[in-house]
Amino acid sequence: MINLASDNVVGASSHVLDAIVAANTGAEAAYGADHFSSAAEARLAEIFEHEVKVFLMTTGTAANALALAALSPPWGAIFCHEESHVADDECGAPEMFTDGAKLIGVPGFAGKITPEALEKAIARFPKGVAKSVQPSAVSLSNVTECGTVYSVEEIARVAEVARRHELGVHFDGARFANAMITLGATPAEMTWKAGVDVVSFGATKNGCLACEAVIFFDPARAEHFQYRRKRSGHTLSKGRFLGSQLIAYLAHDHWVHNARHANRQAQLLARGLQAVPGVRLAWAVEANEVFAILPKAIASRLSEAGVRAAPWYESSVSLAPHETVGSDEVFWRFVTSFATTTEDIATVIATAAS
Amino acid sequence: MINLASDNVVGASSHVLDAIVAANTGAEAAYGADHFSSAAEARLAEIFEHEVKVFLMTTGTAANALALAALSPPWGAIFCHEESHVADDECGAPEMFTDGAKLIGVPGFAGKITPEALEKAIARFPKGVAKSVQPSAVSLSNVTECGTVYSVEEIARVAEVARRHELGVHFDGARFANAMITLGATPAEMTWKAGVDVVSFGATKNGCLACEAVIFFDPARAEHFQYRRKRSGHTLSKGRFLGSQLIAYLAHDHWVHNARHANRQAQLLARGLQAVPGVRLAWAVEANEVFAILPKAIASRLSEAGVRAAPWYESSVSLAPHETVGSDEVFWRFVTSFATTTEDIATVIATAAS
Amino acid sequence: MINLASDNVVGASSHVLDAIVAANTGAEAAYGADHFSSAAEARLAEIFEHEVKVFLMTTGTAANALALAALSPPWGAIFCHEESHVADDECGAPEMFTDGAKLIGVPGFAGKITPEALEKAIARFPKGVAKSVQPSAVSLSNVTECGTVYSVEEIARVAEVARRHELGVHFDGARFANAMITLGATPAEMTWKAGVDVVSFGATKNGCLACEAVIFFDPARAEHFQYRRKRSGHTLSKGRFLGSQLIAYLAHDHWVHNARHANRQAQLLARGLQAVPGVRLAWAVEANEVFAILPKAIASRLSEAGVRAAPWYESSVSLAPHETVGSDEVFWRFVTSFATTTEDIATVIATAAS
Amino acid sequence: MINLASDNVVGASSHVLDAIVAANTGAEAAYGADHFSSAAEARLAEIFEHEVKVFLMTTGTAANALALAALSPPWGAIFCHEESHVADDECGAPEMFTDGAKLIGVPGFAGKITPEALEKAIARFPKGVAKSVQPSAVSLSNVTECGTVYSVEEIARVAEVARRHELGVHFDGARFANAMITLGATPAEMTWKAGVDVVSFGATKNGCLACEAVIFFDPARAEHFQYRRKRSGHTLSKGRFLGSQLIAYLAHDHWVHNARHANRQAQLLARGLQAVPGVRLAWAVEANEVFAILPKAIASRLSEAGVRAAPWYESSVSLAPHETVGSDEVFWRFVTSFATTTEDIATVIATAAS
């Protein structure tokens, strides 16, 4: 079976696993006060070239929801793409963690918020008028839910709108490394230099077992975060498990290599599939995801050959205006990872083309 | 350094670690739909001799707070020992997850709720009177926060009061195995046969890296639980990591051996410390925790020798009425674990006695 | 000054005020156990020709948010028109009272949800999939935010979709009486006979001082409502104040007369304004609200003459596709009430036309 | 029938009612922007001799819960008497409005928190330790739930402890005027001069129909309060109804006269009852409440004569240590109000003594 339904269907990289095993000796203070966690924070400060406050946890849902809760009061409006992960795939976690803030879906092609669409969305919520929730934050996903990547300039332009309206800027980096590879930018350039306040720095999808970091560039924003993390049950007792994963992930450019590999496999897959008659791509392949519209005959052949992809939303509003999925077609997402082999990709393409 | 501050300052047992490593091959469905998670559920059904619905997660705080949220509406009263972990050590997680239920502290010697004290506490909240929060659940910790263990009969008597008042019964089993060893009872006898509805089945403190299970005996009570877990960010994407831990933990009586070992070390330590002039125990040592009142001179000696314990609450209301910690004394908790060696214990005792 | 900005800028009708004064003698049980409140419930049962559970409170925001909380769990999706009052004008009250449910805006011309648009919106939230909030309720405003009125058949068709997907149906009746007059239907026909489960029955805008009723047709749905009302601070101690208002409001067809008057004044105004060159109406005038697009010159004249209206959202998505507000135009809402005189209307029209 | 069960079983004073009627002409801006509401704020500034931010609403539960939400984050600990109204009689409203803060019951004779007991309670919650909710506010009821009154000095001493620990100080003044009469102090002396930050200024029990004011002395604390009030449904559309009540209540010392009258009637009643053999008072009668322990025979006589009082909590922990309610006794609360006549009191006493 070749499972490309997501980049979380594989386990951890052996490099990361080895580090967990190696970290398993001796006593360490509990609840995040261990040496591994503080070393991970120090390493992220180097990588981001900035003072940081880092909080480790096991899931991206928690990282996103906690980060948004740090940026928005219960009466806040949080702007995000209308098909973003925080809006659609977390069962209301942002609403739970913010105690009821409102996520405002902003439309946009290929999963991206434009400065113009953001301005227009913000305008619906007059500042200081009690009946209206108050614009508080914007959340960008990079890589987006459509597998596309905001350029540094695009991030900066959205953040500039946010800044003008005094919104905090959250960066959902579930696939941070994949976006970074595509951009050829430094972590600093992609984030605080472009106006980002808080990052959900994902590592699970790119080689860790379960490790995400919430990264603040301004310690004042992180002031109460330890209470939020604890009371939501996201402060692990054996914190070494998290810290050691992240240290290994960041060491020797392991995260860079993994993401580069995954992105390359996606390019290979995209090129191969596009060459198959009847297949077309919904969006540009800019990271490690390929969204393809396929004839049902090809889809059946792939399924029979043990290839798994994720059926996607045929009525997605992120599609180009003219695009529709025909009744004899399927819309599938393929996601490559650090573990996807060139043989796997070749098999998928060959099966599709056969 | 000999760190006995808690049973979570050590890592995982090598047995559990090996299982994680072994589980790390191939693709598995994400978000708890993996084979390891379902196998763990099946194994717990055998062990508890009952149909179960099992939800795995990484922290005890989450397990407790989610379980209580399944038992209590926002206007509910949840009865627990006034110095219980859910009341004192989770930064209000139960209040967050229940959307504002009230935890009612019930007093009692040595960390235990008595049926009489529970009856009295319930009586303060008249059923059907809108101004009053409504009695909804009782939460028992076994092992208790004082290191004592409820007998099966004690559990049943508390549960009987709960049943009469239509309260759900939650069992905080952060140290489930340690209590089980002491009781010489089966998991079934300790729980559903005694009237328990939901168990937070802890495995982290007894050898896992980060794994806790919420176990329901009545599927109806678990109906919405998947949404609660997801929206609180506690549904791991790479669920194999949790399932594999628990399977290894339960295999070959590994959990039994670990808990038996830890309990024995606590007995050794208790006996040794008690023999030291000036040292006395606050509560009976019934599991893997020793609460000792020590002369400051002895405490200093231990600290200098690199022995770490957790300073405890000198004004604890769970102490016997006559008991007080003198100004030249300290009140310390020592916790033993699967990893505590007999040499460690001997060193601690020898240092205290020297 | 002629203030037509809303129907809540006037006080109460003298009929209602008299009843409050008359109710002010003797002792009455507090917190809703008074005779006036129970008499109001009995009267509503007659009017709605159905067993009802009635809860009185002072604001429409509370009535809507509490009613929705009775229909939706925290992980629920509540479907409403994307420019509805619950979505836009209550500062997130539904999110607060439901503990974080998600309001899903459904697009539609003139403030109305169509069955097709509802179906499409529901389809985005797969039942039983944990990552997705779960479709739980639909909320219809009748009169809508655009001053239009759903026909009984339209209500029934939306409710039929809801029923098929097991959603509760909420009827935001802030202007219930105005809609009823237009429909020429009975309260029963507009609500439970058409598939409605819970009504926010507004009386404040149509002659009361501050009185709204949440009406349940199925007592099971109201089971916990007294706790929700109390814990949100909406259980008045001197309940006679609410009960007496509602009794007077419903007696001698007072509510009917008030609403008929208000609707007529709106028709007068609409006809008059439409006849003024350069003025056009955004939506059909079907109740007591007139949404007009006016040349700025006319608007200035009205302002100078002391006429007040409410500036409306020029970028409203409920407008017809071709409609836009020109740069030399304004978009204003005029609302008539029981207290609007024919002279007022004549003055407004004459001023506009002058 | 003579109903002394509470001071909210009577209606409004005719003075207040007249003002409501008088306010009922012409148009006024909605949602608290009316002239009556701003005049009420200005009048309270005079009375409190301080800049104030005032928010009017209809219930004391809302006033308390909203005020506490302004002082405490969701992870906060709010200290209050263990039998206070906020803890026992609001169905968890403070927990709902604070999004899950913890109310910590402080024990104390006769409903009062002492500085020592407060210090001891605060000590259980270490500052900066993530597992512990964080001390955030203290709430004092004056008049207390036992009908006693904190002296200005007592308030100041409690507030001094609060200040040292950086807690906000909330004053639950459901019976503010009754306490003021007893103290012979100015509103300023009782509140901000003694260290109080926010007052729930009750007017309903002392002559209004439904009117409570949340009063802030520091505008910074009120910064987001308009959103909190709106989203909890406590911003009345026809705000004139609230403003006019409060203006009339405060005019011509109406509130002073009402409270003085009520307090005097309580003194008369207390003296009369105490003279009846077998009757004793549980606490000093310092405002308008009499808590009496009565032989059942006398209680029956009163009930038969149509006298209503409120059965009180026989196991109240606020009772003196030696005090118990015998099996042939009842524990009743009698509350006098502006409307209680001297004849009523004489009848009650005569019946008890007969």
Summarised one tens digit per residue, pLDDT across range B94-132 is 999 999 999 999 999 999 999 999 999 999 999 999 999
Helix axes A240-250, A254-274, angle to 10 degrees: 70
pLDDT tens-digit map of C145-172? 999 999 999 999 999 999 999 999 999 9
Those residues whose C-beta lies under 8 Å from the C-beta of residue D293, and which sit 6 or more positions away, are D279, D280, D281, D282, D323, D325, D326, D329, D330, D331, D332
Mean pLDDT of all residues in A29-37 = 92
Using a CB-CB cut-off of 8 Å, the residues of chain A touching C120 are 315
Q: Do the beta carbons of residue C85 and residue C105 sit within 8 Å?
A: no
In this complex, the residue of D96, D101, D132 whose CB is nearest that of residue B74 is D96
DSSP tag of C86: H
Mean pLDDT of all residues in D168-193 = 98
| Distance of alpha carbon A149 from alpha carbon C290, whole angstroms | 46
Q: Say yes or no for a CB contact (<8 Å) between C102 and A95.
A: yes
Q: Which of A297, B33, C30, A29 is nearest to D308 (CA)?
A: C30
Q: Say yes or no for a CB contact (<8 Å) between A130 and D229.
A: yes
- What does A251-308 look like in DSSP terms, one character per residue? GGGHHHHHHHHHHHHHHHHHHHHHTSTT-EESS---SSEEEEEEEHHHHHHHHHTTEE
pLDDT tens-digit map of C304-331? 999 999 999 998 999 999 899 999 999 9
Longest dimension (CA), chain B: 62
Q: Is D134 on the interface with A (CB under 8 A)?
A: yes
Q: Which of D271, D251, D253, D255 is nearest to D342 (CA)?
A: D271
Mean pLDDT of all residues in A279-305 = 98
Q: Do the beta carbons of residue C11 and residue C217 sit within 8 Å?
A: no
Cβ within 8 Å of C, D 162-221: 204-205, 209-210
Nearest CA-CA distance, residue D321 and chain C, Å: 32
In this complex, the residue of D23, D63, D234 whose CB is nearest that of residue C11 is D23
Any chains having at least 3 CB pairs less than 8 A from chain A are: B, C, D
Within C23-92, where are the H helices?
Answer: 35-48, 60-71, 85-88
Tokens of D236: 């009345």
Q: Which of B187, C240, C92, C32 is nearest to D209 (CA)?
A: C240
Q: Say yes or no for a CB contact (<8 Å) between C227 and B73.
A: yes
In this complex, the residue of D90, D96, D103 whose CB is nearest that of residue B131 is D90
pLDDT of residue B76: 98
Of residues C64 and A1, the one with the higher pLDDT is C64
Q: Is A224 on the interface with D (CB under 8 A)?
A: yes
Mutation target to probe the C interface, by most C beta carbons within 10 A, among A102, A120, A316 is A102
Any chains having at least 3 CB pairs less than 8 A from chain B are: A, C, D
| Distance of alpha carbon C350 from alpha carbon A282, whole angstroms | 58
Using a CB-CB cut-off of 8 Å, the residues of chain D touching A55 are none
Q: Say yes or no for a CB contact (<8 Å) between A315 and C124.
A: yes
Q: Say yes or no for a CB contact (<8 Å) between A130 and D235.
A: yes
Q: Do the beta carbons of residue C252 and residue C170 sit within 8 Å?
A: no
Fold classified for B2-7+257-353 = Aspartate Aminotransferase, domain 1 (3.90.1150)
Cα dist from D316 to B126, D37, D87, D107, D321, whole Å: 14, 40, 14, 11, 10
pLDDT of residue C287: 98
Tokens of D225: 């309060």
Mutation target to probe the B interface, by most B beta carbons within 10 A, among A98, A225, A237 is A237
Phi, psi dihedral angles at B329 (to 5 degrees): -125, 165
Share of chain C above pLDDT 70, in %: 100
Instruction: Give strand pairing partners of B213.
Output: B56, B201
SS3 for chain B, per residue?
Answer: CEECCCCCCCCCCHHHHHHHHHCCCCCCCCCCCCHHHHHHHHHHHHHHCCCCEEEEECCHHHHHHHHHHHHCCCCEEEEEECCCHHHHCCCCHHHHHCCCCEEEEECCHHHCCCHHHHHHHHHCCCCCCCCCCEEEEEEEECCCCCCCCCCHHHHHHHHHHHHHCCCEEEEEECCHHHHHHHHCCCHHHHCHHHCCCEEEEECHHHCCCCCEEEEECCHHHHCCHHHHHHHCCCCCCCCHHHHHHHHHHHHHHHHHHHHHHHHHHHHHHHHHHHCCCCCEECCCCCCCEEEEEEEHHHHHHHHHCCEECEECCCCCCCCCCCCCCCCCEEEEEEECCCCCCHHHHHHHHHHHHC
| Distance of alpha carbon D91 from alpha carbon D103, whole angstroms | 12
Mean pLDDT of all residues in A188-215 = 98
Residue D79 pLDDT grade (very low, low, confident, very high; cuts 50, 70, 90): very high
| Distance of alpha carbon C339 from alpha carbon C79, whole angstroms | 34
In this complex, the residue of B6, B21, B29 whose CB is nearest that of residue A21 is B21
Phi, psi dihedral angles at A311 (to 5 degrees): -60, 135
Instruction: Give strand pairing partners of C329.
Output: C295
In this complex, the residue of D31, D99, D134 whose CB is nearest that of residue A227 is D134
Q: Do the beta carbons of residue D342 and residue D268 sit within 8 Å?
A: yes
In this complex, the residue of B30, B66, B227 whose CB is nearest that of residue A8 is B30
Within A165-253, where are the H helices?
Answer: 176-183, 187-190, 225-231, 240-250
Q: Is C20 on the interface with D (CB under 8 A)?
A: yes
Cβ within 8 Å of A, B 293-332: 308
Residue A46 pLDDT grade (very low, low, confident, very high; cuts 50, 70, 90): very high
Share of chain D above pLDDT 90, in %: 97
pLDDT tens-digit map of C271-308? 999 999 999 999 999 999 999 999 999 999 999 999 99
pLDDT tens-digit map of A318-345? 999 889 999 999 999 999 999 999 999 9
Nearest CA-CA distance, residue A322 and chain C, Å: 19
- Chain A with chain D: Cβ pairs closer than 8 A: 41
pLDDT tens-digit map of B67-102? 999 999 999 999 999 999 999 999 999 999 999 999
Tallying the residues shown for chain A, one arrives at 354
What are the structural domain ranges in chain D? 2-7+257-353, 14-253
pLDDT tens-digit map of D260-273? 999 999 999 999 99
Q: Say yes or no for a CB contact (<8 Å) between D238 and C90.
A: no
Q: Say yes or no for a CB contact (<8 Å) between D59 and C233.
A: yes
End-to-end, the C-alpha distance of chain D in Å comes to: 18
User: Cβ atoms within 10 A of the Cβ of C127, count?
Assistant: 10
Task: Burial-class residue B110 by CB neighbours within 10 Å (0-12, 13-18, 19+).
Answer: buried
Share of chain B above pLDDT 90, in %: 97
The secondary element (H helix, E strand) that includes residue C76 is strand C76-81
Averaged confidence pLDDT in chain D:
97
Q: Is B33 on the interface with A (CB under 8 A)?
A: no
DSSP tag of D99: T
pLDDT of residue A89: 95
Q: Is C6 on the interface with D (CB under 8 A)?
A: yes
**What's CA C200's distance to the chain center, in Å?**
8
Residue C133 pLDDT grade (very low, low, confident, very high; cuts 50, 70, 90): very high
pLDDT tens-digit map of D283-327? 999 999 999 999 999 999 999 999 999 999 998 999 998 899 999
pLDDT tens-digit map of B300-344? 999 999 999 999 999 899 999 889 999 999 999 999 999 999 999
Using a CB-CB cut-off of 8 Å, the residues of chain A touching B91 are 227, 230-231
ipTM value, please give it.
Answer: 0.97
Nearest CA-CA distance, residue A194 and chain B, Å: 28
Mean pLDDT of all residues in A209-228 = 98
The pTM for the full model equals 0.97
β D168-173/D134-141 pair status: parallel
DSSP tag of D131: T
CA-based nearest residue in chain B for residue A224: B91
- What does A59-77 look like in DSSP terms, one character per residue? -HHHHHHHHHHHH--TTEE
Q: Which of D191, D154, D156 is nearest to D286 (CA)?
A: D154
| Distance of alpha carbon A207 from alpha carbon A17, whole angstroms | 9
| Distance of alpha carbon C38 from alpha carbon C104, whole angstroms | 36
Mutation target to probe the D interface, by most D beta carbons within 10 A, among A227, A230, A235 is A227
Q: A179: phi > 0 → left, psi -120 to 50 → alpha, else beta; which?
A: alpha
- What does D33-68 look like in DSSP terms, one character per residue? -SHHHHHHHHHHHHHHTS--EEEEES-HHHHHHHHH
pLDDT of residue C194: 98
Q: Is B230 on the interface with C (CB under 8 A)?
A: yes
Any chains having at least 3 CB pairs less than 8 A from chain D are: A, B, C
Fold classified for C14-253 = Aspartate Aminotransferase; domain 2 (3.40.640)
pLDDT of residue D287: 98
Using a CB-CB cut-off of 8 Å, the residues of chain B touching C234 are none
pLDDT tens-digit map of A80-91? 999 999 999 999
pLDDT of residue A288: 98
